[in-house]
Structure 1
Amino acid sequence: MDASLSGPRGLYAPLPTATSIRVIELHPLQDDSTPINCTLHLTNLERETLDFQALSYTWGDPLYRYWFDREKHTTWVRDVPIDKLCINQDDVQERNTQVGLMAQIYSKASLVISWLGPADKDSDQAIPLMQRLNKLQCFDDMQGHQQCSNYSDFMERTLSEDDTTEIDSIPKEQYEKLTRFLARQYFFRCWVLQEIMLARRICMLCGTEIVDFSDLQRIALLVAWIKKHHLHYPIGQALDLPIKPNRNFDHEKAILELFQDRWRLLYKTEVQEQKLPFTFEQLLTLARMSGCANPKDKIFALLGIVPRGAFGISVDYNKTTEQVYSEAIRRLIQETKNLNCLSWVTDRSLRKFPNSPTWVGEFDDKAEQSELAFASVGYNATSGSMLDVMDIGSESHSALRVQGVEIGRIVELAEPWDWHGGRLKFDPQWVTLTLNLPKVSRPTGKPRGETLVTTLVANHVDHLPLERQPNMDHFKYVVRRLTCAAVVRYLHYLFYYSDRAKSEVAYKDKALPFFRDLDMLSEGDNTGFITSSAEVRQAEQQSCTCKANLSFVDISSASPPRPPPDSECPYVADFNRPNPHSHPYRTSISDRIARLGAAPSDADIKRDWRDHNFGRAANRHGQFRRLARTNNGYLGLVSTSCEIGDAMWLLQGANVPYVLRETGKLAGSEATGSVWEVVGDAYVHGIMQGEVWEDAKDQLVDIELV
């Protein structure tokens, strides 16, 4: 590299003006063995005759030889600002200034080259598949800048029979390759959001292949539609592969959001020109979809999309990550006048910055734990109350002042949930915990069995509350059938695989109390949600091929003999899989349970994808959560890290309740409140739609979250 710009400190001399930038001139390659040579130059963003190209790439070395394949691409990449090389990374003040110029750099570049990364076995099949799918008739009339937030409506209106035939004819293995391609890190790097949104022209490269920018949008739209409406088909399952540890993140929807935000900037109306293109809440939503090497860039990378100083936050790498995130959350609360962002607070075992104030949530929406305040069913525990933003405090980045009312203390906790894919797990402690509730739940007046079922899924199945599920009789039947399969699976675990199975303690000493409790709960519940020991026995007969008859125990019988497990039994096969957390939609043991007692109709129960939604919902909402009972008879779904004695609160401006842990009293002679840590959000049955808020809001007290 040419060292003509070197100063006394080495390669980098101080930049002469506030709008000066460095660019790299890349010299042509003679052959594949030639090292990449480049020269560092100065230029100024205020020049009228700027001519440079910008690179948009993911983490790692951007200087891949693929960019410069002259046989495929006739345009030679010459003057390029590459931040890792053109910015003095050791000079914090220069970094602050240059980051503030990134928006100008990408908006003034003649071309932004988006480097998706080198080709691999997935992209080799995914890119031709994208080109093939983009020839579907449904895309013929779709304009390049068309926003398709309602992708379901668009696809339903335009998808032809020929399109459906073409989609179905493609092997599912190719769709799996496409899924992995859409999950490339490039699309979720925080700087890429700004770079793509501001670019005048974009050329996307993967290895030596050009990926059409608009084609990518159409593919993301198609994938989102298939996953929503055809998840139970092999194609839908292939597109729903658990690419990353998080199982709930939809990569195609994140890509659609990126495209729609770009069009929002490029095609603003005259009225929109007078307004900020994004609210701070929208920017943080984008930030949480993205990743970056420096966590502060979650905030700083997106500030260039709006006018400088628009949100009162400036780029300053001297601040700690905790300070940057605290300022961002406080600014968000001031803008929205609500506390819904407290649902970003995840279980303590998942927190990436444990030294942050507990009210500062994760800036990553790929966390395993569901965020209840943003659920599509629309919880409204405080009846739409708003915050007085003048009272939240600002003198300390670590403290947040709020008002609320305590609604109960946790006195009993079940074991933490663990992932069971699409299957429903079962914990006998749920039954004993529910039996400790009043027979009629407060304030709903519903039987406690229904309270248990509703709480397990946070009253949210397939975007609807339980009371609005279609064909309620069949839905209740499905819940019992899934529960039976989960109970029989638990009995297999207890008999063959648990520590108790290897001990001298009789199996029946554990199983009998459980069956008594289950029947007690079932007999006291007339809603049809709770199964009985008789139905469990019937389910075992229909679905299990082992000889142990695990559900046929009584007080007068000896514990069943211990015949070896049958390897053909689906429950045994389930436990013996190399990865018990593999894709959840491949098989369903509950489908073997054809009928339980009196089914809703005489027709054969056909396999319906909706039949599995209850198990999926329970696993989605149960991740890193556990059931909890309060001292005053509420049942809730809370974070795993909750403890006995933690308090459930309704906070003014919050859609859902929160579990708080008291740490002390407010300082000062006139202070009367207390200091609390945020443990996490909660579903508390009977208060999620404002049932108790009208009375509780007259008892609000000041507290401080730290």
Structure 2
Amino acid sequence: MTDVPPLLPPRSGHRYTALAASTIRILRIFDGTGLEDPLTCGLETFHLNQLPPYEALSYCWGDQKEKHEIILDGSKFEVATNLHSALLRLRLHDKPRLLWVDALCINQNDIPERNSQVSLMRDIYRQAECVLIWLGGPVMVDDKELWAIPHLLEAQEKNLKRTDLPIRHGTKDWVKYVMSSDWATNGDLGDRRWNAIIRGLVSLLQRPWFLRTWIIQEAALAKHSVVVCGSHYVDWEPFCRAVGYAIDLDYFASTSPEIYSALRNIERARRRLAVGQFQRPLDLLAGFRIFQATDPRDKLFGVLGLLDPADLKVLQLKRADYDMEVRDVYTQAAIDCMALEGNLDVLSLGGKFSRSADGSTRTLPSWVPDWTFHQERVKPLHPRFLSTLSFGNYQQMAPQSAACDSRASFSVSADRSVLTLSGYVYDSIAAVSDVLARDYYDPQEGHPLTPARDKEYEWSGFDPEVEEAVRVLAQWESLCGVPASAPYPFTSQQPAQEVFFQTVHANCYPSGSVSQTRARFELWYKPFLELRSITAAIGEIDGFAGNESMSDWQKIGAGTKWMGKVVYKTAKFGFKYALATRPSRVQHNATMVGLGRVMFKTGKGYVGLTERNVKAGDKVALVKGGRMPIVVREAVNDGGDGDDQSEWEILGDAYVHGIMGGEGWDEARCVEMRIV
């Protein structure tokens, strides 16, 4: 193919020719200038062993409804807006450019070709001279183009700390303020300049590229990457340094921690691959769960290129197959993870209630994880997955496995709907608390000392959501025996307060150590106690306000004493709240594991944590190869009577204080358990 655009009038439609094995097409973008010259391209076919120097494009497909016309091999061809913009930006003025672009180099209407070409993407991105990461057009701040990366790199090189910069609070309110239309009217010149920089970065990181599943391997496999945004470009490594610097300043930990943690996971994967280190399939799937894909099967297919070739040989799901249904892809992935590792860690990511809202995965068995992301899904309790899914360096007092060192024993029914495990019901859930749905110093508007503008609070001035959290914590304390002095009978006579502390963290401490976490927990926990004390004091007014046996002077005296008590307790509460929420305390605020969960107590007296849909009567089961207990509910069964016919649905994994080291494990009790 020549380097000169075709002179013949374009044909009405492009036709792909079949590809031979181990061959790919590469797009040649002919030179041109500005918007006047039409985008003229051609496709050339090469064997993987005879590739010319080329680049590969990493981009987001975006809205496919709005199309733009290009000329491809002399034919008219329509591409979506984002790709059209990328090709215009990357077209050279004086010579052609060779670029691999999935939407053009793969015949998207040919399923067998898609299957074959997707399996080659690992080689395509590894062998590219450079991967060009297209983030879209320029970032505009106050109607002006702003490229934040150089400013952040400059601050990092100067080693400017949090206290050296104008903005020091990484809260949701702060981001809301920075993104508001009046950001430039507040503060001095330094404030306004830094506000603009961070606003530009926030806008940049909200581009859809950052949550597209396929970009994981595209960025991680590249030997060299360049980020392109509008007219600006920067190498991947300094780009990650700039974003990482902003993360370290705590500008994002309280907003969307999973997104920024996912970026770090990409860079971690890239560095590991560079030295020949690979993650297990389950860790990759869990770490990148927040990423999105138009086709839910791509949540699996999009990470296959990052797997250890040795693991890939063992898996049944070793290449993309778009003839498979979503249910079959997800089910096979779960089976592969269990068979590959010999444990049942994958069950921590499953559960009857962890299904996508759109109904696309509601037919999955309860033991198969739904990899489509939905925000309300609580992170698994298994320590293996906590640090990869959010900020925090989660540590345990000691490694734990409720089933000791047993290896998984399982089989799958012919229709792949039933997983048969070896295990037993250990205990029954007798009582369940309400959900602890809110952190005390939640970074949204409406904390107890600053009522939100759009909420009408009671005269006491406290946020009812925080008062609800106080009420739920009281339930949790009661289940753990706080403040009673009776020790916990299952863990060497532990005091109830220590049982409470360890259980709300599920023995996973996000501050890097137990002692550091305990110090932060006390800062978080004490204002709850003070607020409870204030609420109780406020309620005392009912004891004398309507007491007809008291004289008016007695009521005035009691009221004065009551007011003094309320004022004193409120001031004490405010002081402890200020301590708990000052920036140096909440930096990288990895929340305790119990948030978003319920606490339960079993018939035998154990306390634990699990997911919010559990109710009294559900069972705690221990299974071979299951390091975490699972909560199960008996399913509707038409197979007959008797325990051997019982079928169970998994509700979620659980932390049960006192059996996490195998204290409740008895392999002799194991029977077949059918999980549907």
Q: Is 1:50 aligned with 2:73?
A: no
SS state at 2:622 partner: strand
Does the CA-based 8 Å contact 1:414-1:430 persist in structure 2? no
Deviation at 1:57, TM superposition (A): 0.6
Q: Which residue in the other structure is 2:353 paired with?
A: 348
Q: Is 1:385 aligned with 2:385?
A: no
* Rounded Cα–Cα distance in structure 2 between residues aligned with 1:14 and 1:590: 77
Q: Which residue in the other structure is 1:517 paired with?
A: none
Does the CA-based 8 Å contact 1:126-1:177 persist in structure 2? yes
Q: Which residue in the other structure is 1:530 paired with?
A: none
* Rounded Cα–Cα distance in structure 2 between residues aligned with 1:428 and 1:164: 35
- What letter is aligned with 1:56? S
Q: Which residue in the other structure is 1:311 paired with?
A: 315
Q: Which residue in the other structure is 1:301 paired with?
A: 302
Q: Is 1:629 aligned with 2:601?
A: yes
Q: Which residue in the other structure is 1:249 paired with?
A: 258
Q: Is 1:646 aligned with 2:648?
A: no
Does the CA-based 8 Å contact 1:479-1:614 persist in structure 2? no
SS state at 2:635 partner: strand
SS state at 1:317 partner: coil
Deviation at 1:616, TM superposition (A): 7.1
Deviation at 1:430, TM superposition (A): 5.6
Superposed CA RMSD: 4.4
Q: Which residue in the other structure is 1:59 paired with?
A: 61
Q: Which residue in the other structure is 1:335 paired with?
A: 340
Matched residue count = 558
Q: Which residue in the other structure is 1:193 paired with?
A: 216
Instruction: Give CA deviations for 1:584-609 in whole Å, capped at 9, x if unaligned.
Output: xxxxx89744489xxxxxxx989777
How is 1:256-335 mapped onto 2 (pairs within 5 angstroms)?
Answer: 256-268=264-276, 277-285=278-286, 287-288=288-289, 290-306=291-307, 307=309, 309=313, 311-313=315-317, 314-335=319-340
- What letter is aligned with 1:338? N
C-alpha spacing 1:686/1:613, structure 2 compared with 1 (3 Å): farther
SS state at 2:620 partner: strand
Q: Is 1:456 aligned with 2:504?
A: yes
SS state at 1:239 partner: coil
Does the CA-based 8 Å contact 1:437-1:633 persist in structure 2? no
Q: Is 1:484 aligned with 2:492?
A: no
Does the CA-based 8 Å contact 1:457-1:622 persist in structure 2? no
Q: Which residue in the other structure is 1:495 paired with?
A: none
Q: Which residue in the other structure is 2:40 paired with?
A: 38
How is 1:523-562 mapped onto 2 (pairs within 5 angstroms)?
Answer: 537=537, 549-554=538-543, 557=546
* Rounded Cα–Cα distance in structure 2 between residues aligned with 1:202 and 1:288: 23
Q: Is 1:661 aligned with 2:648?
A: no
* Rounded Cα–Cα distance in structure 2 between residues aligned with 1:96 and 1:346: 30
C-alpha spacing 1:485/1:33, structure 2 compared with 1 (3 Å): farther
Deviation at 1:106, TM superposition (A): 2.1
C-alpha spacing 1:436/1:303, structure 2 compared with 1 (3 Å): closer
Deviation at 1:358, TM superposition (A): 0.9
Does the CA-based 8 Å contact 1:55-1:82 persist in structure 2? yes
* Rounded Cα–Cα distance in structure 1 between residues aligned with 2:275 and 2:523: 48
Identical-residue share of aligned pairs (%): 22
* Rounded Cα–Cα distance in structure 2 between residues aligned with 1:614 and 1:185: 24
* Rounded Cα–Cα distance in structure 1 between residues aligned with 2:588 and 2:547: 36
C-alpha spacing 1:447/1:330, structure 2 compared with 1 (3 Å): same
- What letter is aligned with 2:299? K
Q: Is 1:212 aligned with 2:235?
A: yes
Deviation at 1:485, TM superposition (A): 4.4
C-alpha spacing 1:16/1:344, structure 2 compared with 1 (3 Å): closer
Instruction: Give CA deviations for 1:320-375 in whole Å, capped at 9, x if unaligned.
Output: 11211111121112222222222223672664522211112243688551321125
Q: Is 1:117 aligned with 2:89?
A: no
Q: Is 1:469 aligned with 2:472?
A: no
- What letter is aligned with 1:284? L
C-alpha spacing 1:458/1:555, structure 2 compared with 1 (3 Å): farther
Deviation at 1:86, TM superposition (A): 3.3
Q: Which shifted more, 643-652 or 667-676?
A: 667-676
* Rounded Cα–Cα distance in structure 1 between residues aligned with 2:18 and 2:608: 58
Q: Which residue in the other structure is 1:22 paired with?
A: 25
- What letter is aligned with 1:327? Q
Deviation at 1:678, TM superposition (A): 0.8
Does the CA-based 8 Å contact 2:440-2:528 persist in structure 1? no
* Rounded Cα–Cα distance in structure 2 between residues aligned with 1:267 and 1:84: 31
* Rounded Cα–Cα distance in structure 1 between residues aligned with 2:400 and 2:631: 16
Q: Which residue in the other structure is 2:182 paired with?
A: none
Q: Which shifted more, 649-658 or 455-464?
A: 455-464
Q: TM-score, normalised to structure 1's length?
A: 0.67
* Rounded Cα–Cα distance in structure 2 between residues aligned with 1:40 and 1:70: 15
Q: Which residue in the other structure is 2:458 paired with?
A: none
Could you list the runs of 5+ residues in structure 1 that have no partner in the other structure? 137-158, 227-234, 492-535, 538-548, 562-588, 597-603
* Rounded Cα–Cα distance in structure 2 between residues aligned with 1:605 and 1:96: 56
* Rounded Cα–Cα distance in structure 1 between residues aligned with 2:640 and 2:659: 34
* Rounded Cα–Cα distance in structure 1 between residues aligned with 2:428 and 2:641: 28
C-alpha spacing 1:557/1:469, structure 2 compared with 1 (3 Å): farther
Does the CA-based 8 Å contact 1:381-1:650 persist in structure 2? no
* Rounded Cα–Cα distance in structure 1 between residues aligned with 2:523 and 2:473: 19
* Rounded Cα–Cα distance in structure 2 between residues aligned with 1:189 and 1:345: 22
Deviation at 1:43, TM superposition (A): 0.4
Q: Is 1:239 aligned with 2:252?
A: yes
Deviation at 1:258, TM superposition (A): 2.1
Does the CA-based 8 Å contact 2:403-2:626 persist in structure 1? no
